[in-house]
Structure 1
Amino acid sequence: MTAGIDTPDPRGRTGLHLHGRDLSGNPRVRILDVEVLACDWAVLRRTTFDYRHHDGHWSRERRETYDRGDGATILLYDPVRETVLLTRQFRLPAYVNGHPDGMLLETAAGLLDGDDPKAAIRREAVEETGRTVHEVEHVFDAFMSPGSVTERLGFFAAPYDGSAPGADTAGVAAEGEDITVVELPFTEALGLVRSGGIADAKTIMLLQWAALDGPFSRR
């Protein structure tokens, strides 16, 4: 009996080896086997498939995919004061891959956990910044690391009331979150992208959207 396949894994899931086996949308791909390599908080799978190349020949390929579920992120902005509200928190993967201290400046974000993306990001915005957001706008969706990670991230934006007092720290303690809330002038945030002070992809994408097509564009 294998956890995640025959018996529940730590998150109560079974049948994890069936995910992706019935895909038929691409006639150039034939799924042959799906193995579960690890399942705890997320699921690591190895899929074996045949792939038909442009010249017609078939090759057998094996790929590992990391499935952590889909998520959402949001840029909170004050259009009057021209500020944005970000978070700073420790990210172990960045730390072990060369970031000086692993403390990244980011837009609020989180997993959907079964919720509608807009509802999920409202929840995460409150948890991570302590602020209630106003009308939420869907900006775009993107696969953040499609070579190995299955996650599709929904990108949103919403104004917040920067004149109202807010907490300096936030997060769900039971989930190990220790988040500092950081308010910055929008131009300063863009400058941090250029200097490397902001190195998180989702945050860079939303800040650039805000400058090109969003609330701080000069159209």
Structure 2
Amino acid sequence: MRIEGESVRVCGIDVIADAKGKLISVRYEQRRRDGEQQTRKREIYDNGNSAVILPYDPERKTVLLTRQLRLPIFLQDGTERTVEACAGKLDGEEAERRIVKEMQEELGYKVSHVERLFELYVSPAAIMEKVVLFTCKYSTANKVSGGGGLKDEGEDIEVVETTLEQAAAMVATAEIVDVKTVVLIQYLRDRVRL
């Protein structure tokens, strides 16, 4: 595989692990801004692109969140259940279609329209994942089930409905530590104030 840009040339890619995601080692040459050529090597994790949504009820000023086990956070901090926005891997599916399905599976709410906000990279120095961020309006009329996720996928999700202001307070007290959720809460808070 040969990948080249103006100042970067990939020399080789080796797969280190390939299970749920792929861990690769990339050897590349980079021409620095001072003109010097530099050879480098990096490990990159590719677990696929994803979508995330923060539904908002403008009448009650509430948002829907999830609470579930996130093993890396448990291993790092000992926190067993983390509060975050509803999210899921795209697995080749269109982001809008996938996030509507995730919202119904995880939160138990069915909506027909979502608003695409923007796309962000999770941690661009080492992770290839790009996340599409969404919001949508919801109400109690959209509730079709108790949510909870798909048991056969190992999901055990608690639905958390709280006010947008309380969600912002949960960020301030470090109850919410997921970066994509923090971005969505701040974005929506700023937008609602307009």
Q: TM-score, normalization: structure 2?
A: 0.95
Alignment match, 1:23:
3
Equivalences for residues 57-68 of structure 1 within 5 A: 57-68=36-47
Instruction: Report the residue type matching 1:207 in the other structure.
Output: I
Q: CA RMSD in A?
A: 1.4
Gaps of at least 5 residues in structure 2 are none
Instruction: Report the residue type matching 2:161 in the other structure.
Output: E
- Describe the SS at the equivalent of 2:182: helix
Is the aligned partner of 1:180 residue 2:155? no
Q: Deviations over 1:161-209 (max 9, x none)?
A: 1366565551100011000001001111111111111111111000001
Structure 1 CA distance for aligned equivalents of residues 133 and 106 of structure 2 = 16
The answer to whether the Cα contact below 8 Å between 2:51 and 2:98 also exists between their aligned partners in 1 is yes
Q: CA deviation at 1:157?
A: 0.5
Question: Which residue of 32, 39, 49 maps to 2:18?
Answer: 39
Equivalences for residues 101-120 of structure 1 within 5 A: 101-120=79-98
Instruction: Report the residue type matching 1:62 in the other structure.
Output: K
- Counting aligned pairs with the same residue, the percent is 35
- Describe the SS at the equivalent of 2:128: coil
Is the aligned partner of 1:206 residue 2:184? yes
- Describe the SS at the equivalent of 2:63: strand
Instruction: Report the residue type matching 1:199 in the other structure.
Output: V
Is the aligned partner of 1:69 residue 2:41? no
Gaps of at least 5 residues in structure 1 are 1-20
Q: Deviations over 1:43-99 (max 9, x none)?
A: 00000001111111011100011011100000111010000000000000011111x
Q: TM-score, normalization: structure 1?
A: 0.85
Judging by fraction of residues, say which structure has more helix: 2
Alignment match, 2:64:
85
Change (3 A) 1:164 1:122: closer
Structure 1 residue runs of 4 or more that deviate by more than 2 Å after TM superposition: 21-24, 162-169
